[in-house]
Amino acid sequence: MDRSELLSHVDHTLLRPDATWGEIRQLCDEALKYHTASVCVPPSYVTRCANYLRGRIPVCTVVGFPNGYNTTKIKAFEAAEAVQNGADEIDMVINLGWVKDEQWGLVMNEIQTVKRAADGKPLKVIVETCLLTDAEKCRLCRMVTQGKVDYIKTSTGFSKAGATFEDIKLFSEHIGPNVKMKAAGGISSLDDAEKFLSLGADRLGTSRIIKLVKQEEATGY
């Protein structure tokens, strides 16, 4: 796959708790140079990123991150504030305890509430696949479809494991035609990135791909 095509699907990500503005600014500069789909940054950096990028690259941020157990009201406030601060996309972690308790009405209400708070900006629902059964994953595929969510996202990158090919295959079989897929967490090679895209993922959440492309440019392989 052409590298520019691959990079156009990357949410260039830095969500470490100790990330500095210097590192975030470098992330933005790399995203501009390599024409990524977005930068994904902590909420506290949204305003600064939006002012720095001035619409040249979309700014994505996270809500209820990384554990998902904030109340729905807090998540909605986070999403609304992020949009007000200049965020173009929202990645929201669902309440996994509610999933395990089969509190599907609460899960759906949260998805719909945060979607409204995002005010038309793309919403990606993070389901943390490494903590779910296949049955729970399938149920959530149906729920994000019913909730008219833009994306279902595999992982935060902060739990036991990240995206797998099997999960993207499973998602592709159970989401509706208007829901896209984002693979995130642990994408460690360009070959893996290409395979996720070939399986139908539209976005890749990763901090490594640009490093790998730079290495390829420097070494020729």
Mean per-residue pLDDT, 111-123:
98
Query: What is the pLDDT, as a whole number, of residue 172?
Result: 98
Options 153, 167, 180, 192, the catalytic residue: 153
Q: How confident is the model at residue 1 (pLDDT cuts 50, 70, 90)?
A: confident
Per-domain residue ranges of the chain: 3-219
Q: Give 179's pLDDT tier (boundaries 50, 70, 90).
A: very high
pLDDT at 149: 97
Residues 198, 172 contacting (CB under 8 angstroms): no
Q: What is the pLDDT of residue 23?
A: 98
Residue 108 pLDDT: 98
Residue in the structure block whose two tokens are 């595999």:
154
According to the model, what pLDDT value does residue 210 have?
96
CA angle 177, 79, 75 (to 5 degrees): 95
Per-residue pLDDT at 220: 77
Q: Report d(CA 107, CA 140) in Å as an integer.
A: 9
User: Can 180 be counted among the known catalytic residues?
Assistant: no
pLDDT category at 158 given cuts 50, 70, 90 is: very high
Helix (H, G, I), strand (E, B) or coil at 148: coil
Question: Does the annotation mark 182 as catalytic?
Answer: yes
Q: Mark whether 33 is an active-site residue.
A: no
Residues in the chain, overall count? 221
Q: What confidence category does residue 221 fall into, taking pLDDT thresholds of 50, 70 and 90?
A: confident
Distances (CA, A) of 48 to 22, 59, 86, 121: 11, 10, 9, 19
Q: How confident is the model at residue 105 (pLDDT cuts 50, 70, 90)?
A: very high
Q: Which of 75, 124, 180, 182 is catalytic?
A: 182
pLDDT at 126 over 90: yes
| pLDDT tens-digit map of 29-47 | 999 999 999 999 999 999 9
CATH 3.20.20.70 fits 3-219, yes or no: yes
Strands 59-63 and 38-41, bridge-based pairing? parallel
Inform me whether the pLDDT recorded for 100 exceeds 90.
yes
- C-alpha 44/C-alpha 164 separation (Å) is 30
Which one is catalytic: 91, 150, 167, 192?
91
- What would the pLDDT profile of 133-155 be if each residue is shown by its tens digit? 999 999 999 999 999 999 999 99
pLDDT at 198: 98
pTM of the model: 0.96
Q: In the 8-state DSSP scheme, what is residue 221? A: -
* Contact (CB, 8 A) for 96 and 64: no
Q: Residue 160 — very low, low, confident or very high, per pLDDT cuts 50/70/90?
A: very high
Q: How far apart are CA 200 and CA 149, in angstroms?
A: 17
> Coil, helix or strand for 41?
strand
What average pLDDT does the structure give for the chain?
Answer: 97
